[in-house]
Amino acid sequence: MDKFQRNIKVIIYYLNKIHRHALIRQSELFKIKDKNDAYKIDNRIISFGLLRTIIFCAINDVYNLEQNINEGKFLTIKEELNEPSDKQFLQLAIENYPIYNYIIRIQSIIETGTRCFLSECEFGKYLQELDEPKRNACQIIKAWRNTIHNNGLHKKEEEQYSYYGKNIVIPKDKIFEFEFWTLYRISIDLIDVLFEFCKKSFEVNPYVLSNLYIEKTGSNKPAAEARRGK
């Protein structure tokens, strides 16, 4: 087993740990109030379901990558590339593509997905109330997402963040780089951020029903509440 294949196995291992943590947090949300039919169509539960789907898709993408490498499906492509740098680029692209997708999607859930149940003002307020590591995790993943959209280059001014004893530097006009342990730690913090935002939202509004449910039923109340005439 070469270094590339070992890295793939490590990534799959940590993605599974991330998914378990998301599952635990989602289960804790169900304990905040009685579990009834409202939670099946509440935007906060839907957001956690989407988060778990994103993590599962990343696991599946990396697993398929490992299987394709083991079956030699990329060897033919490599043989057709004459320059060693081209082969190295292919390997990096194959290894990073599923993780780049994961970074874009998980950041989207935290920033865009929460708008389904938080106003922009509430999001900013709750963000400032987070402890420094979680607040910085939100900023780092946002900067990483932006660099991916710019072909791996950070186009803004250099950004620096302190994160669990590490100094995370995102230099201007440099190639986007990350280590997977940091991405793992950020993922855990982002799951906790979404959990905290959902809890705070529950305190203000017991139900934030999905638009699909409202359009289908013509009601902004869960079915059980509507039947009781509340």
Q: What does the pLDDT average to over 103-124?
A: 82
Q: What does the pLDDT average to over 122-151?
A: 88
Higher pLDDT, 80 or 10: 10
Quote the CA–CA distance of 52 and 82 in Å, as a whole number: 41
- pLDDT for 215 beyond 90: no
- pLDDT for 213 beyond 50: no
Give 125's pLDDT tier (boundaries 50, 70, 90): confident
Contact indicator for 8, 66 with CB cutoff of 8 Å: yes
Q: What does the pLDDT average to over 191-217?
A: 72
Residue numbers of the domain that contains 67? 3-227
Residue 54: count of CB within 10 angstroms of its CB? 21
Give 27's pLDDT tier (boundaries 50, 70, 90): confident
Quote the CA–CA distance of 28 and 33 in Å, as a whole number: 10
Return the SS3 of 148.
helix
What percentage of the chain reaches a pLDDT higher than 90? 19
The pLDDT value given to residue 153: 80
What single letter denotes the amino acid at residue 227?
R
Q: What is the mean pLDDT of the chain?
A: 76
Number of domains the chain contains: 1
Return the SS3 of 42.
strand
Quote the CA–CA distance of 90 and 106 in Å, as a whole number: 25
Quote the CA–CA distance of 19 and 17 in Å, as a whole number: 5
- pLDDT for 25 beyond 60: yes
Give 223's pLDDT tier (boundaries 50, 70, 90): very low
